[in-house]
Structure 1
């Protein structure tokens, strides 16, 4: 996605559902391998913090083995969160992003 109607690239947060495995070192290795842009932020921490984030975003599924892929996007503070279940394609993500921008 590009700046589009917002004038800036979207921020991307990746929150670990398995902080025991997704250590800061492992996330840095991931970033070196895939080289995401500066708008990508990777988060890990305690199991409790991960669960709190999952619950706040309404993506908690019971335990890490029940976790299914979900993308959650919001085009601006105060706007509703959009949940996209499953593995999302770039085209689908762009479609959802544009639709969320157009919804007032």
Structure 2
């Protein structure tokens, strides 16, 4: 029996149509969960979308950049400190979405 090198094995598994479908399904589930967690907070300054690479799927929160004073995606996710010293906890929209999806 001849074993394939680890890299070649990983490449063939990652490109398997069933594996690609599972990655796409998991990515879409995480994005849907993130939208549910963001919904109670009204219109956020960021949008949640999905992107795909050769083998990976990504859920992205990106800034729309329309208004200068709207919070950035990182501040929405992780929180921050205002100029007056007041702190705001992050919503952890993406983090909770991943936790919920079990991915």
Larger RCO (alpha carbons 8 Å, 6+ apart): 2
Q: Which has more strand, going by share of residues?
A: 2
Q: Which has more helix, going by share of residues?
A: 2
Q: Which has the larger radius of gyration?
A: 2
Q: TM over 0.5, yes or no?
A: no
**TM-score scaled to structure 1, two decimals?**
0.23
